[in-house]
Structure 1
Amino acid sequence: MSHLARTLASTLAAFAVVGALVGCAPSPEPTPTPTGFASEAEAFEAAEATYRAYVDATNAQRMDPLHSPAPESFLRGELLESELEFDRQLKAEVLSIVGETVITDVEYAAIDANLTSADVNICLDSSQTTIVDESGNDVTPSTREPITLISTTVVWTPSGTAITSSETLKTGQC
């Protein structure tokens, strides 16, 4: 099994999603923050929506390489560079990923006081994805765990929301 296939297997698990907080009791209308979010719940909902849009774009691009928006448009910083390098390695080894990754759970982890970034834990199910070579042969590592819990950070910038980090917390279960 190639180094890329092993890297690919662990990277498949490294998608990331944000949890939503839900208010239980009525409260006074909150004041919007500089990010435009009036509450933590609103900020988490936006972070979750961003991550879900990223996963949707990734799944869509697997079916149509020209799909827009490109998954990379949701990423910034080192995570973007890592994703671009991963794509280059796939192309170099003439491998591709087929199937869909599914977000099965989203949990709130933390949010900064200014509501400018949110850390969330995301459970991803990659059991319906496979890594295939140019002949269509399944080269998915047999040791790949189909369920992965990841921690991700979503930030708000003047140009919108972006995912800036993703780390695998646990494999095999969430």
Structure 2
Amino acid sequence: MSNLSLAEAVKLKSVLAKRIHELEEEMDRVAFVEVEKGSRVPKQSRSLVQVEQEIEELRKDFRLLDKLMYRANIENEVNFNGETLAIVEAIELATQLRAKARKFKMFGAAVKEEIQYGYGEGIPLVRRATFDPEEYRLKAVELERNANRLSNAINNKNYSIELDFDSEKYF
């Protein structure tokens, strides 16, 4: 039995999820046939029971892989900006940094002041930013840089972690 890295496990989990979906669709195809009344059901390459057995085996492997990945993401850590974070926490932080960067990019693209047309009764209105757009643009760039650094640290760590999972039948 060969081990696989946490990084490979992430990819394998996606492959397994896709295969489960394909097997669910195959179940729908083999579960029913349309034939003339009184005719024999044509022989199919696989029965519903066979597909069902394969999907159950895949789901069992999926659950095991999921458990191993969760455990690895909790037990292993990365260093970022002088702080040690569990991988699960680092993943969430990277997600939050990217969300904050998206918001700051929006503020960074704003106009400092613009005239609003169509409001009021002849009184010109001005929409004025209460912040410096350039400052937020620069903050967004720095946040994205940090998110990328953190993602790289997570990715590097994921390649160094070995999971006790037999991936021979999938890779």
TM-score by structure 2 length? 0.28
Higher strand share: 1
Higher helix share: 2
TM-score by structure 1 length? 0.28
Greater relative contact order structure (CA < 8 Å, 6+ sep): 2
